């Protein structure tokens, strides 16, 4: 029987020991949603950073809404640097979610790297390598289920998730029929029924084949 693992700084330490001071963990949320933006974040901790809250940091999907909202301000307070960015539905509908996914990571790094003020950085990305990031393929590593492996990536997933959830909660005031505060724009059965009954809003992604349900 395999034991469950929790995120650690093991991946970060591989690069800290090589003299790289700035390890950027990046992750996104909302890629598979029917509505709303895609949101990504990047988080950098000091080498060998320690704090009690880190024991609870994990893939945002594995945490309760309450715990994510408790951890998000702690991550922002104690991270050396962080950045959160989003790509809206107009871009997603025009270029597709794949290009939007890469674009939102570039936005995060465009905001984050000037804060570092150094080229001595390395990127840990959830999933696979990301296209056209600063430094190219040599300055990044894609980690499958990285948000369950790296504390930096997991922290990015948490602050991105909290930001996006709040965006979708606000969207419910404008589109109350869809209950975005509850489903966050994902394709729940209720959400699908509302699309059938009321049609698409301007925050829905037209690239999905909504006619199929």
Q: What residues contact 58, with CB distance under 8 A and at least 6 apart? A: 6, 7, 147, 148, 154
pTM: 0.94
Contact yes or no for 44/22 (Cβ under 8 A): yes
Domains of the chain: residue spans and CATH: 10-169 (3.30.420.10)
11/146 Cα distance (integer angstroms)? 10
Each residue's pLDDT, cut to its tens digit, for the chain (213 residues) gives 344 579 999 999 999 999 999 999 999 999 999 999 999 999 999 999 999 999 999 999 999 999 999 999 999 999 999 999 999 999 999 999 999 999 999 999 999 999 999 999 999 999 888 778 888 889 999 999 999 999 999 999 999 999 999 999 999 999 999 999 999 999 999 999 999 999 999 999 997 655 454
Residues constituting the chain: 213
Q: For residue 206, give Cα distances in angstroms to 15, 47, 97, 178, 184.
A: 41, 43, 11, 16, 17
Backbone angles phi, psi at 180, to 5 degrees: -65, -30
151/158 Cα distance (integer angstroms)? 10
């Amino acid at each position: 029987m395999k034991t469950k693992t929790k995120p650690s700084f093991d991946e970060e330490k591989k690069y800290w020991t090589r003299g790289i001071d700035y390890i950027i963990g990046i992750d996104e949320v909302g890629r598979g949603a029917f509505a709303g933006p895609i949101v990504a974040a990047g988080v950098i901790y000091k080498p060998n950073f320690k704090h009690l809250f880190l024991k609870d940091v994990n893939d945002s999907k594995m945490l309760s809404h309450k715990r994510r909202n408790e951890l998000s301000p702690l991550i922002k307070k104690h991270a050396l640097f962080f950045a959160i960015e989003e790509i809206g539905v107009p871009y997603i509908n025009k270029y597709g979610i794949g290009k939007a996914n890469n674009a939102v990571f570039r936005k995060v790094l465009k905001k984050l790297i000037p804060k570092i003020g150094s080229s001595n950085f390395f990127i840990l990305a959830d999933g696979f390598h990301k296209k056209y990031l600063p430094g190219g393929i040599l300055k990044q590593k894609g980690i499958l289920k990285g948000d369950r492996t790296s504390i930096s990536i997991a922290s990015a997933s948490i602050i991105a998730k909290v930001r996006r959830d709040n965006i979708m909660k606000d969207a419910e005031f404008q589109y109350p029929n869809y209950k975005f505060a509850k489903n966050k724009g994902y394709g729940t059965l209720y959400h699908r029924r509302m699309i059938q009954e009321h049609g698409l809003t301007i925050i829905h992604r037209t690239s999905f084949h909504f006619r199929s349900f």
